[in-house]
Amino acid sequence: MSHFTVMLITDNKPIDRDIEDILMPFHEFECTGIDNEYVQDIPKSKEEIEELKKDFEENGDGRDFSEFVYDWCGVHAVTKDKIDKNNTDLEYGWVEVDNDGNIVEYIYRTNPNAKWDWWKIGGRWCGFFKAKPDVSAVRGSEGLMGSYSSEDGFDIIRKGDIDLKVMFGEAEKKAADLWNKIHDIVGDLSDYISWPDTLKKFEEDLEKARKFYNDQRAVVTLKSSGDREARYRGLDEFTYGLEEYVEKARKQAISCFAYIQDGEWFEKGEMGWWACVSDEKEG
């Protein structure tokens, strides 16, 4: 499970229905269960079909093919005359077989552009935008256990009503305070080797790399500190000087993981489980 921010950029103030329509092209069918025009029949490749046959040979355990396919893949094996998309048993796909039980085609039904399985205005980042005085803006609802970004911020707002000066200022102060706190705890970082450089040093040998990295003076000092916020921070980001670190935080003050504008989705990378991002883009 991962949580991330998405900024919707529209010409008019949206209502919940508008937001749902904007997000719908990117829904994850397997989780939402919404079968609409964005869900496609995706045929599996010949290689994947051959792999399924091999799996059946090696793991069938006496089951007939239809039973195995359902247990293994979560779809039913059916003949062409039984294929009916209105049949809820086939809503997520099927394996078509001929009368002799040979695989003709394997269809997986999904939205190939899926990005989200659930959304909420605000959530953990409720109050993300700071507003200029006396403007009209909307605050969303808070996240799990009352989590939020700020108590006095908003989530639906006109671009010109965003108080960027306040947002940049708060980001700079928070970054400076954190940088100083970390450096007060660990001291000089000139002897610290970052995690990517540690991996290179041990030629991707994870066991040796982890031991070396975690045995470093700065890492041991940070993890043994009594400061909860500091203990769970990585040190790589604090190898930057104070001014550079603060400037980076300023630029990220209004940054989100993804943006939607004119029906297009733009993102920093591919979001995986537990907020792990792959193929991350610069800027």
Provide the CB-side half-sphere exposure for 215 (13 A, CA). Answer: 7
Please state, in angstroms and rounded to a whole number, the distance separating the CA atoms of residues 93 and 83. Answer: 10
Q: What is the pLDDT of residues 146-178, one digit of tens each?
A: 888 999 999 999 999 999 999 999 999 999 999
Q: Decide: helix, strand or coil at residue 68.
A: helix
pLDDT at residue 273, rounded to an integer: 43
Strands 6-9 and 258-261: parallel
Q: What is the pLDDT of residues 3-52, one digit of tens each?
A: 899 999 998 877 777 899 999 999 999 999 999 999 999 999 999 999 99
Residues 6+ apart with CB under 8 A from 30: 92, 110, 114, 117
Neighbours of 56 (CB within 10 A): 17
Question: Average pLDDT, stretch 98-124?
Answer: 93
Q: Where are the extended beta strands (E) located within the chain?
A: 6-9, 40-43, 76-78, 93-97, 103-110, 122-123, 141-142, 258-261, 264-267, 270-271, 277-278
Do 273 and 2 form a contact (C-beta atoms < 8 A)? yes
**How much is the mean pLDDT over the chain?**
90
Please state, in angstroms and rounded to a whole number, the distance separating the CA atoms of residues 27 and 7. Answer: 16
Please report, for the chain, the start and end positions of each structural domain, with discontinuous segments joined by +. Answer: 1-38+112-162+263-283, 40-110
Question: Average pLDDT, stretch 228-237?
Answer: 86
Strands 258-261 and 141-142: unpaired
Q: At what angle do helices 164-186 and 242-251 cross, to 10 degrees?
A: 140
Do 83 and 90 form a contact (C-beta atoms < 8 A)? yes
Question: Average pLDDT, stretch 214-228?
Answer: 92
pLDDT at residue 278, rounded to an integer: 45
For residue 129, list its beta bridge partners.
154
pLDDT at 226 exceeding the cut of 90: no
Q: What is the pLDDT of residues 181-219, one digit of tens each?
A: 999 999 999 999 999 999 999 998 999 999 999 999 999
Total-model pTM: 0.78
pLDDT at residue 69, rounded to an integer: 93
Q: What is the pLDDT of residues 58-98, one digit of tens each?
A: 999 999 999 999 999 999 999 999 998 888 899 999 999 99
Give CA angle at 174 (245, 234), nearest 5°.
55
